[in-house]
Amino acid sequence: MTTPLSVLQHYWGYDQFRSSQKDIINAVLDGKDTLALLHTGAGKSVCYQVPALCLPGKTIVVSPLIALMQDQVEALNNKGIFARAIYSGLGYRQVDLILDNFVNGPLKILYVSPERLETDIFIERFKRADVSLIAIDEAHCISQWGHDFRPSYFNINTLRAFKPDVPIIAVTATATKKVALDITERLEFKDEVVFQSSFKRDNISFTVMMTEEKEEALLRVLSKVKGSGIIYLRSRSKVEQLSKFLNQRGILSSYYHGGLNMLTRSRVQKEWIDNKTQIIVSTNAFGMGVDKSNVRFVIHYDIPPSIEEYYQEAGRGGRDGKLAFAISIIGYSDIIKLQKFHLNSFPQLEILEQFYYRLCSYLKIGYGSGAGEAKEINLEDFGNMHRYSLSLVYSCLHILEKEGWLLLNEGIKNPSKIVFTTSKDKISLSTRNRGIKSQILLYLLRKYEGVFVDYTKVDEGTVANDLGLKMDTVVRELKVMQRETILDYIPSTELPKILFLLDRPAPKSFSIDAKRYKEREENARFKMRAIQEYMIGNTCRQKIILDYFGEKSTPCGLCDICKGSKESLFSDAEKEGLFKHLQGKLIAGKIDLEVYMKIWPYNKRNKAYACIQQLVQEQRLILDDLNILSLPTK
């Protein structure tokens, strides 16, 4: 008899479930709609993958993250579990074959990006498929109050309309009580069974070091904290610079970001997981789905835009239960950068409209067309053409994603693939001449299983090396065989793709809901203020985080505040002196905080900024959302 524990033991090799995994799985197997809020590293995917293998039918997993889908599919396939993923950028034939295998074949678990849910080809097969479970990964994306809201997640209810008796499990690592309630309401839960593990991490020590001498502080930390670690920054160029800086000082590190080709990313990740590299310096492109238990430290060298993102990244440390350190090394300038990042993330609606039409023209999308088309794009070239900074390009694309106009696929881990599209008899005829094409065909038949059933990854370099051919020759012959309809060949690409979800509207017909846009900006500002409070606050670090998630807590005893190791940046006398100085400046009215801070010497700005924040908390100063300082009115 197949039981959850026997499945876990057979495929994962574990003798028991973690924390609340067993209860969550049992609720799903009882047919109940279930929401699981589990912190990073608590094993969320097991909560739907194990039931998927216990239930008689198929499982649909909805996920917004292409890289995570691909990683999970690869991990399941390596365990002998047949899984596939459908996401933006796949061709019609690829999607058609995968769905055929899902309806009529042995495909057990199908990962789907949310924008695919309302396509005719998906709906028609979904209706016919024997589906036992619908799983929603990263479920916070369905809530407009979540940190990565996506309107395409609303399409999930179309699945429920077609199969109302199929249970839903929604999982996420970071959700406030408001977000959790929004998830259950939008998914129309019938049972509303909610499991929430504590967000508290008893084995992580949280520390914030406020300094403008960040490189010196980093070297001090790395001289004391040993083992494997991650350092997060927001900029690709700074990721590379910092890794080079560490290597020059004898600290072995590699860097990782979305601009690297897929082979390099895979190599860098594997070397770090195998402990060949001590430190990986990365943007937030790294870490999702990476299961490495012995991470001893996670350092933030920039400030993430929200506590949700920060806690998810910091939580990648200490998954083995041993002590780990979450350290933020920041300065006053990083606070200002965070505020500017927020402002730049919400350009004026007129700029968005202009950007959208220019993007359509650049990619040759005509009026009244485009829906369902996926186009490769060189984002830097597009930005240079219209004098957009790369950060503005990404900001506009992310907003257009969240408004349901398009999807950006940055092409992570997208290797070449082939599938035979003709009969074995025709292929047999094609191999009789014993030429180069014949050699390649025979090699593919011997080397790759399942090439008549589904698209299979192929490495042209390996084929060329094994046959003693040039790689260009192999690529040329594969393209010839594609023209001869022997096979379908999809070469790998490093360029991002944009999938248009809607047709390009007529001039002046583009629209974004201004009220909803303002609400989203206000929500993002609230999150920015919360992470800023965490960084500059004087109360227990973990308590600030747990309070944010609505969890009652007591001081952790591990963070820099609890241990009393946080250096006092200013004395009472210094605070009063600064206040009198500011009073003189504010007699005439208001002053821009950034302008005022430039009065102070570079090495004293952290102290001055900390004093101002304390005065704001004491309500002796007012600091508005535009960073304007004023005195309170009496």
pLDDT at 414: 64
pLDDT at 325: 96
Max Cα distance, the chain (Å): 95
- E strand intervals along 433-574: 456-457, 487-490, 497-500
Q: Helical H runs in 290-389? A: 307-314, 332-344, 349-362, 379-386
Angstrom distance (rounded) from CA 188 to CA 186: 5
Below-70 pLDDT ranges, the chain: 1, 89, 146-148, 262, 288-289, 410-414, 429-434, 494, 565-569, 634
Angstrom distance (rounded) from CA 528 to CA 126: 40
* 3-class SS of residue 34: strand
Strands 487-490 and 417-420 turn out to be antiparallel
pLDDT digits 0-9 by tens, 377-428? 889 899 999 999 888 998 999 899 888 898 887 655 567 889 888 877 777 7
Angstrom distance (rounded) from CA 597 to CA 601: 9
The model's pTM: 0.76
pLDDT at 112: 93
Give yes or no for a contact between 285 and 68, defined as CB atoms under 8 angstroms apart: no
Cα dihedral 523/524/525/531 (nearest 10): 110
pLDDT at 132: 96
Angstrom distance (rounded) from CA 350 to CA 362: 18
| Residue 84 phi, psi (nearest 5) | -145, 170
Angstrom distance (rounded) from CA 505 to CA 511: 9
What's the one-letter identity of residue 123?
I
pLDDT at 568: 61
Q: Helical H runs in 403-454? A: 424-430, 436-447
Nearest to 538 by CA among 568, 572, 558, 579: 568
pLDDT at 207: 95
pLDDT at 432: 67
560-to-204, 300, 323, 541, 557 alpha-carbon distances in Å: 11, 15, 14, 8, 9
Angstrom distance (rounded) from CA 308 to CA 304: 9
Cα dihedral 603/605/607/608 (nearest 10): 140
Instruction: Return the DSSP state at 202.
Output: T
pLDDT at 196: 85
Cβ–Cβ contacts within 10 Å for residue 482, how many? Answer: 16
